Amino acid sequence: MSLEQLLAWIPPGSPDEALARRINFDQLPSHVAIIMDGNGRWAAQRHLPRVEGHRAGIDSVRDVVETSARLGIDVLTLYAFSVENWKRPRAEINTLMTLLKRYIRLELSTLLKNNIRFQVIGRSEELAPDVQRELEIGIRQTAANTGMLFNIALNYGGRSEIVDAARRAIASGIAAADLDERRFSELLYTARQPDPDLLIRTSGEMRVSNFLLWQIAYAEIWVTETLWPDFRRRHLLEAVLAYQKRDRRYGGIKPSPVALSIK
């Protein structure tokens, strides 16, 4: 997309406008992945039940999805529920699933308006049938959209994804000699998607928590102390600006100006 598309949605004269004007649109991350963390702490700070943090986190999801689409990000992946999250109290899990269903139902028009294609990554076949049905509706109705791809990672684990890919390789009879990194990537849930360039984690924790383990090999990591329910467009713009200052080398070295000047 473009600066104009983004500015059309930002109050003129706001700090967000100043941030948006500093973005280099020729150097955007193609794929942004976010570990949304700190909902429980946000609620605890307000003496509210944990689920109120998740509820408030939905507003951040809305803001980030639309900002990413308007910015021109190709793929946005949000970590909503991990394979480990089943260890949480049943009531919290039920609320998370209800919030998710409601989000898809209420936000479908926004996804369509912004040409966003919605997809789920993770072992979605293990989710409750009513959740699967709602997800299917969102996936089907946005399937023809050509803009940003929005992945929700649900019942997702990086290690289980790699195990699932290995199982698929065996099941499809790929010979060991034919299996290389490119071919293996095509067996992951994120087949044909670019790897994340930018991995954002909220609430200050310095962990990757079993998220996109294969795909984040060369991702730039940006951690903010902000708790997820407080995360807004401004924070995403700050993360993109920080990303644009990084020196990405992919294991190589940065060519020195001297070396560049030698013909």
Residues that bind ligand FPP (CB under 6 A): 36-41, 54, 57-58, 61, 78, 80, 85, 96, 99-100, 103, 152, 203, 228
- In whole angstroms, what is the distance from residue 137 CA to residue 142 CA? 8
Q: Do 201 and 37 touch, CB atoms closer than 8 A? A: yes
Q: Which of 16, 37, 195, 197 is catalytic?
A: 37
Q: 115 catalytic, yes or no?
A: no
- In whole angstroms, what is the distance from residue 54 CA to residue 43 CA? 8
Nearest to ligand FPP of 95, 169 (CB atom): 95
CA dist list (Å): 15 to 7, 57, 242 = 12, 22, 16
| Least CB distance to ligand FPP at residue 230 (A) | 12
Nearest to ligand FPP of 62, 234 (CB atom): 62
CA dist list (Å): 247 to 102, 221, 252 = 40, 12, 11
Helix then strand then coil, in percent of the chain rounded to 5, is 50, 15, 35
Nearest to ligand FPP of 91, 166 (CB atom): 91
Nearest to ligand FPP of 66, 169 (CB atom): 66
Q: Residue with CB nearest ligand FPP?
A: 40
| Least CB distance to ligand FPP at residue 42 (A) | 7
- In whole angstroms, what is the distance from residue 11 CA to residue 192 CA? 36
Q: Which of 63, 74, 85, 145 is catalytic?
A: 85
Burial class (CB in 10 A: 0-12, 13-18, 19+), 262: exposed
| Least CB distance to ligand FPP at residue 263 (A) | 52
| Least CB distance to ligand FPP at residue 9 (A) | 20
Catalytic residue positions?
A: 37, 85
